[in-house]
Amino acid sequence: MGKEAKEQARLVTGGALTPLLIGSRSWRREAVPGQASPRSWESEMEGCVSNLMVCNLAYSGKLEELKETILADKSLATRTDQDSRTALHWACSAGHTEIVEFLLQLGVPVNDKDDAGWSPLHIAASAGRDEIVKALLGKGAQVNAVNQNGCTPLHYAASKNRHEIAVMLLEGGANPDAKDHYEATAMHRAAAKGNLKMIHILLYYKASTNIQDTEGNTPLHLACDEERVEEAKLLVSQGASIYIENKEEKTPLQVAKGGLGLILKRMVES
């Protein structure tokens, strides 16, 4: 399976998208915790069997067996499986903090990526593993590392509403305006997903409200399209423009549904 196909397997089909937005919105099809399959990256790993026993031990949380295995052959601590994942990747996915700490004490690389470009920090941030994110950052994990879609760990923290993780990443030097391959930022994700507190966090760390993605959409376009009323109002109150046109020459007001456009117009003109 190619890299692009593997990444698509991590995405799920979301709600109906307008033709205006569908081109650059594949990340909006990511799984939300609690949804049925298709599955997200971390849930994709559930029930999977690595071709390395050490990775399976890390994922299943068998710390003592893992220690015994690695101490007998220390090269296993950094060996990669069929998807270029190490024991650290698998432990981060499953949230086994003690195993992660054991591996980090051995000095395993913290920035190795799997064949889709996911680092352990990407995985931990996406899966909501707060303590593991903290441990990885403490060992020098690259906070602005990108995967094959150009996404940083902050992109996943923003779309999945991982507040504490987002703060840790931003305090650790994460670029709040980093763009993925669709030129979407964490703010685009938070706005589209309706993550109001995340928008507040990003604004505190000086994230821009008017960056346009490859379709010309700003975070406000996406908030309006998804009928995120409070999120759209917050963005406008913090300088998001209601006049920027996307590539189909539509402003956020023209994308807005119901009475949202009128509400935003009154905010600006009052």
- How high is the pLDDT of residue 242? 97
Mean pLDDT, range 101-107, rounded to an integer: 98
- How high is the pLDDT of residue 142? 99
Mean pLDDT, range 179-186, rounded to an integer: 98
Q: How many helices (H) and strands (E) does the chain have?
A: 17, 0
Q: How many angstroms separate the CA atoms of 105 and 217, rounded?
A: 44
Are 104 and 94 in contact by the 8 Å Cβ rule? The answer is no
The pLDDT tens digits of the residues spanning 126-176 come to 999 999 999 999 999 999 999 999 999 999 999 999 999 999 999 999 999
Q: How many angstroms separate the CA atoms of 51 and 181, rounded?
A: 31
- How high is the pLDDT of residue 139? 98
- How high is the pLDDT of residue 206? 98
Q: What is the mean pLDDT of the chain?
A: 87
How far, in Å, are 10, 77, 122, 213, 251 from residue 23 at the CA level? 17, 41, 24, 11, 17
- How high is the pLDDT of residue 259? 93
Q: How many angstroms separate the CA atoms of 223 and 40, rounded?
A: 23
Residue 35 in this model has a pLDDT that exceeds 80: no
- How high is the pLDDT of residue 46? 52
How far, in Å, are 68, 90, 110, 114 from residue 103 at the CA level? 13, 11, 10, 17
The pLDDT tens digits of the residues spanning 188-201 come to 999 999 999 999 99
- Residue 11 has φ and ψ, to the nearest 5°, of -110, 150
The pLDDT tens digits of the residues spanning 200-211 come to 999 999 999 999
Find the range with the poorest average confidence among 51-55, 122-126, 158-162: 51-55
Going along the chain from its start, the domains and CATH numbers come out as: 3-198 (1.25.40.20)
Please, which residues have CB within 8 angstroms of residue 232's CB and are 6 or more apart in sequence? Answer: 191, 220, 223, 224, 240, 252, 256, 260, 264
What is the pTM for the complete model shown?
Answer: 0.85
- Residue 125 has φ and ψ, to the nearest 5°, of -65, -45
